[in-house]
């Protein structure tokens, strides 16, 4: 498999150069093939370290990096996802929600970077993520990262800090694989089992790690491992052989920082790290390469079709050519009409998604009022008598976790709905575009091979909500004006309740509106981009087929044809493309 890695980019680069030499109309194909080669070189792979709070996620990443860069602690700590990718120098970039500019620190001193991270990613110094950090990006020279993997430290789930759980759940869509950590001290919990179900729905590949085995004897480790594997089978529904890596991340980190190879081995970290490197070198590339190879074959198919169309158009009797050109133009007109119908349906679908969102927001408004009133009611039920300020505080504290959860749920529902709608539009568009190619090939007697890649690499197949910027609407807390409007404390409970109710209703409307607005923007952008890309694809296909035929036709009409030379050139190009296709086919 590794030989592919060396081979494929070279073949692609070579073909890109050759195709470029066919003429200016072939340059866009050459560029796309070159992009595919680059994509192989830079293919980034998101590997998230996930688990309940305090299982040692940050420590394990530090062990993999070989130094104590990420903050870790005995209290729930990581509050913001940290993405660590390869770079010559250590650098920390803090990205904020909204318009605030990134903060960048590039230093070689680990304690300084550690301190910087502590200020932004930790629950202690950035409680409830009050600084509005979106995520933190770190570059680091560790060898593992040079493979194109991005390690992601995530906030632990299930702690008293509910917003940390939400942050991680909302982040899952951006992960390609996960390292799921449990620890030897408490056995696997229900929260973990439930979380695992969610992870497996979202992520293609999960590795399992049992951490903190330094607390256990060898015998106890064996017992803990078989208990964990059984739980994975029986409670998390994971079938077949599961391998679980027993490790001590803490010892691994000590080994890495002191350069103690024996301890690195016995900590279990050597096995984890080798396994990851092996996986990245083999499976990761295999998946990416297969997609790239298919896409390259499709592009070569397009180039071949274009060449053959030009060739036939130069060769056939001019009357026949005119005839077929007419028939083909009628086909194109029909396809354009169908595309307009499809655009109308797409617009209708967009409106239906928006209507669904409006319904969800309406329901959320009502639900959130009920929920927050319940919070206020519980707070007011203090036996010492109703305390308005305490109730307001309780409501304030409940707002962020509540709306974060709701945001996650709304996103999931809308995302899924949009994805399946666009998927069927995509299929219809692929059929339409395919039918133009087939018609051209049929009319001009060219063998036709249907595309293989099914758009696997095209952007619109990627998660639609790739960027969550703008999603993290700042949840409105109780504002100063609302508090100031509050009357003196010595009021009867009923009046307090009434005032609180009004404040809650106001908050519910504002927060639901924030969520509605951010989601609406995402829906609109997604649909607009999608429609634009379909139109571009259609225009490209028409240019490749109709453009090639009419160019040849014009040449002949204007008696510009040096047909023999042209034909010889095209024949050569066609043979080269056929050879390249069969080479890629055998890869």
Interface residue list for ligand GTP (CB under 6 A): 51, 53-59, 72-74, 76-78, 155-156, 211-212, 214-215, 248-250
User: Quick one: CA torsion of 135, 141, 147, 151, rounded to 10 degrees?
Assistant: -30
Nearer to Mg ion, 168 or 503 (CB): 168
Binding partner of 212, given ligand GTP, Mg ion, none, CB within 5-8 angstroms per partner class: ligand GTP
Per CB under 5 A, the segment of 50-58, 183-191, 344-352, 399-407 that binds Mg ion is 50-58
Distances (CA, A) of 414 to 166, 215, 353: 17, 45, 7
Binding partner of 408, given ligand GTP, Mg ion, none, CB within 5-8 angstroms per partner class: none
DSSP state of 47: E
**Residue partners of 471: CB distance under 8 A and separation at least 6:** 170, 407, 411, 465, 518, 519, 522
Contact 62, 70 (CB under 8 A): yes
Binding partner of 59, given Mg ion, ligand GTP, none, CB within 5-8 angstroms per partner class: ligand GTP
Q: Shortest approach of ligand GTP to residue 22 CB, angstroms? A: 55
Place of tokens 């917003």: 163
Chosen residue from 58, 62, 168, 522 binding Mg ion by CB under 5 A = 58
Q: Exposed, middle or buried by CB within 10 Å (0-12, 13-18, 19+), for 200?
A: middle
Nearer to ligand GTP, 211 or 368 (CB): 211
Nearer to Mg ion, 55 or 312 (CB): 55
3 state DSSP class of 386: coil
CA distance linking residue 38 with residue 45, whole number of Å: 15
Q: Shortest approach of ligand GTP to residue 140 CB, angstroms? A: 17
Q: Shortest approach of ligand GTP to residue 277 CB, angstroms? A: 21
Per CB under 5 A, the segment of 56-64, 308-316, 380-388, 503-511 that binds Mg ion is 56-64
**Residue partners of 328: CB distance under 8 A and separation at least 6:** 439, 440, 443, 545, 546, 549
**514-573: contacts with Mg ion (CB under 5 A):** none
Distances (CA, A) of 203 to 40, 308, 392: 21, 43, 40
Binding partner of 56, given ligand GTP, Mg ion, none, CB within 5-8 angstroms per partner class: ligand GTP
549-585 burial, b at 16+ Cβ within 10 Å, e below that, comes to beebbebeeeeeeeeeebeebbeebbebbeebbeebe
Place of tokens 């992601």: 152
- How many amino acids of this chain bind Mg ion (CB under 5 A)? 4
| Terminal C-alpha separation, the chain | 10
Q: Shortest approach of ligand GTP to residue 55 CB, angstroms? A: 4
Q: Shortest approach of Mg ion to residue 72 CB, angstroms? A: 6
Q: Shortest approach of ligand GTP to residue 89 CB, angstroms? A: 24
Nearer to ligand GTP, 41 or 262 (CB): 262
Nearer to Mg ion, 175 or 518 (CB): 175
Binding partner of 158, given ligand GTP, Mg ion, none, CB within 5-8 angstroms per partner class: none
Nearer to ligand GTP, 269 or 418 (CB): 269
Nearer to ligand GTP, 134 or 391 (CB): 134
Binding partner of 55, given ligand GTP, Mg ion, none, CB within 5-8 angstroms per partner class: ligand GTP
The phi-psi region of residue 143 (left if phi > 0; otherwise alpha if psi is between -120 and 50; otherwise beta) is alpha
Per CB under 5 A, the segment of 78-86, 212-220, 336-344, 571-579 that binds Mg ion is 78-86
Query: What crossing angle do the helices spanning 2-20 and 563-586 adopt, rounded to 10°?
Result: 170
Nearer to Mg ion, 76 or 386 (CB): 76
Give me 68's structure tokens: 């104590």
Beta bridge partners of 106: 91
Q: Shortest approach of Mg ion to residue 60 CB, angstroms? A: 9
Nearer to Mg ion, 77 or 395 (CB): 77
Q: Shortest approach of Mg ion to residue 121 CB, angstroms? A: 8
Binding partner of 211, given ligand GTP, Mg ion, none, CB within 5-8 angstroms per partner class: ligand GTP
Binding partner of 96, given ligand GTP, Mg ion, none, CB within 5-8 angstroms per partner class: none
Nearer to Mg ion, 211 or 273 (CB): 211
Nearer to ligand GTP, 49 or 145 (CB): 49
CA distance linking residue 39 with residue 349, whole number of Å: 33
Binding partner of 248, given ligand GTP, Mg ion, none, CB within 5-8 angstroms per partner class: ligand GTP
Binding partner of 386, given Mg ion, ligand GTP, none, CB within 5-8 angstroms per partner class: none
- Give the number of other CB atoms < 10 A from CB of residue 480: 8
User: Quick one: CA torsion of 413, 416, 417, 421, rounded to 10 degrees?
Assistant: 170
Q: Shortest approach of ligand GTP to residue 260 CB, angstroms? A: 15
The reply on whether position 78 binds Mg ion by CB under 5 A is yes
Identify each DSSP E strand in 272-429 by its residue range: none
Q: Tell me phi and psi for residue 175, to 5 degrees.
A: -105, 140
Residue 501's H or E segment, with its range, is helix 493-542
| Residue closest to ligand GTP, measured at CB | 156
Nearer to ligand GTP, 19 or 150 (CB): 150
Q: Shortest approach of ligand GTP to residue 410 CB, angstroms? A: 25
- Cα Rg of the chain, angstroms: 30
CA distance linking residue 294 with residue 307, whole number of Å: 20
Binding stretches for Mg ion (CB under 5 A): 57-58, 77-78
């Amino acid at each position: 498999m590794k030989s592919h890695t060396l081979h494929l980019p070279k073949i692609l680069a070579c073909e890109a150069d050759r195709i470029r030499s066919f003429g200016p109309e072939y340059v866009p194909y050459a560029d796309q093939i070159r992009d595919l080669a680059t994509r192989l070189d830079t293919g980034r792979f998101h590997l998230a370290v996930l688990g309940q709070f305090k299982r040692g996620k940050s420590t394990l990443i530090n062990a993999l990096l070989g130094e104590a860069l990420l903050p870790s602690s005995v209290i729930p700590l990581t509050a913001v996802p940290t993405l660590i990718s390869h770079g010559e120098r250590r650098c920390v970039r803090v990205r904020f929600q909204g318009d605030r500019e990134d903060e960048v620190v590039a230093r070689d001193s680990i304690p300084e970077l550690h301190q910087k991270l502590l200020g932004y990613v930790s629950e202690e110094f950035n409680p409830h993520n009050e600084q509005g950090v979106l995520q933190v990006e770190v570059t680091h020279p560790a060898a593992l990262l040079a493979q194109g993997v991005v390690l992601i430290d995530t906030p632990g789930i299930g702690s008293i800090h509910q917003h940390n759980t939400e942050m991680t759940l909302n982040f899952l869509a951006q992960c390609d694989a996960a390292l799921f950590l449990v620890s030897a001290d408490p056995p696997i919990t229900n929260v973990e089992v439930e979380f695992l179900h969610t992870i497996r729905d979202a992520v293609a590949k999960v590795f399992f790690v049992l951490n903190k085995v330094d607390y256990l004897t060898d015998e106890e480790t064996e017992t803990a491992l078989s208990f964990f594997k059984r739980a994975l089978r029986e409670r998390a529904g994971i079938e077949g052989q599961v391998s679980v890596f027993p490790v001590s991340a803490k010892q691994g980190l000590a080994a890495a920082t002191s350069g103690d190879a024996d301890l690195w081995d016995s900590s279990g970290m050597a096995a984890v790290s080798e396994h990851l490197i092996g996986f990245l070198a083999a499976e990761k590339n295999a998946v990416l390469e297969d997609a790239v190879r298919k896409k390259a074959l499709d592009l070569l198919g397009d180039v071949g079709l274009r060449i053959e169309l030009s060739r036939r158009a130069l060769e056939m009797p001019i009357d026949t050519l005119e005839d077929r050109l007419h028939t083909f133009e009628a086909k194109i007109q029909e396809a354009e009409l169908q595309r307009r119908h499809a655009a109308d349906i797409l617009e209708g679908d967009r409106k239906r998604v928006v209507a669904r969102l409006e319904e969800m927001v309406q329901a959320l408004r009502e639900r959130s009022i009920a929920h927050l009133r319940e919070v206020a009611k519980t707070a007011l039920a203090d036996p010492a008598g109703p305390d308005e300020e305490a109730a307001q505080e309780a409501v304030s504290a409940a707002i962020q976790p509540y709306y974060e959860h709701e945001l996650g749920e709304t996103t999931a529902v809308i995302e899924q709905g949009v994805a399946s709608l666009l998927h069927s539009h995509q299929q219809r568009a692929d059929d339409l575009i395919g039918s133009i190619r087939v018609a051209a090939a049929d009319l001009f007697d060219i063998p036709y091979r249907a595309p293989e890649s099914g758009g696997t690499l095209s952007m619109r197949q990627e998660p639609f909500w790739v960027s969550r910027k703008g999603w993290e609407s700042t949840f409105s807390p109780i504002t100063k004006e609302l508090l100031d409007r509050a009357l003196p404390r010595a009021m009867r409970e009923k009046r307090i309740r009434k005032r609180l109710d009004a404040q809650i209703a106001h908050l519910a409307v504002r927060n639901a509106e924030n969520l509605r607005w951010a989601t609406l923007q995402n829906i609109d952008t997604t649909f607009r981009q999608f429609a634009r890309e379909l139109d571009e694809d259609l225009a490209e296909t028409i240019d490749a087929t109709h453009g090639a035929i009419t160019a040849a036709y014009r040449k002949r009409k204007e008696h510009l044809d040096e047909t023999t030379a042209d034909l010889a050139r095209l024949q050569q190009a066609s043979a080269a493309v056929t050879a390249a296709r069969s080479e890629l086919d055998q890869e």
